[in-house]
């Protein structure tokens, strides 16, 4: 992945995270097995669950979210993010 693509993905992930702090968001990403996962996620309960605010670090390549359909916390590789639906 070149620098330009990495910056585009970082910007899109930042928007996803900001939106998940406010509301439930439909989005999709590619899973490790190559299939596309459509999810509805949020970060509104993160601080309640983990007793600290959600602060993504630049070196972290995973995105954390609460999956409303599976009713549990999940992660995905930031580079596998596809879109907000």
Domain locations along the chain: 3-84
pLDDT in tens, 29-75: 999 999 999 999 999 988 888 888 887 776 678 999 999 999 999 99
3-state secondary structure the chain: CCHHHHHHHHHHHHHHHHHHHHCCEEEEEECCCCCEEEEEEECCCHHHHHCCCCCCCCCCCEEEEEECCCCEEEEEEHHHEEEEC
Q: According to the model, what pLDDT value does residue 52 have?
A: 84
pTM of the model: 0.84
Q: Look at the domain 3-84 and name its fold.
A: SH3 type barrels. (2.30.30)
């Amino acid at each position: 992945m070149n620098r330009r693509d990495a910056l585009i993905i970082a910007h899109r992930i930042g928007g996803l995270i900001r939106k998940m702090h406010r509301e439930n968001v439909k989005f999709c990403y590619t899973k490790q097995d190559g299939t596309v996962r459509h999810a509805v996620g949020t970060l509104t309960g993160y601080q309640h669950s983990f007793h600290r605010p959600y602060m993504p670090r630049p070196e972290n390549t995973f995105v954390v979210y609460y999956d409303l359909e599976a009713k549990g916390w999940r992660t995905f590789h930031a580079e596998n993010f596809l879109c907000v639906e």
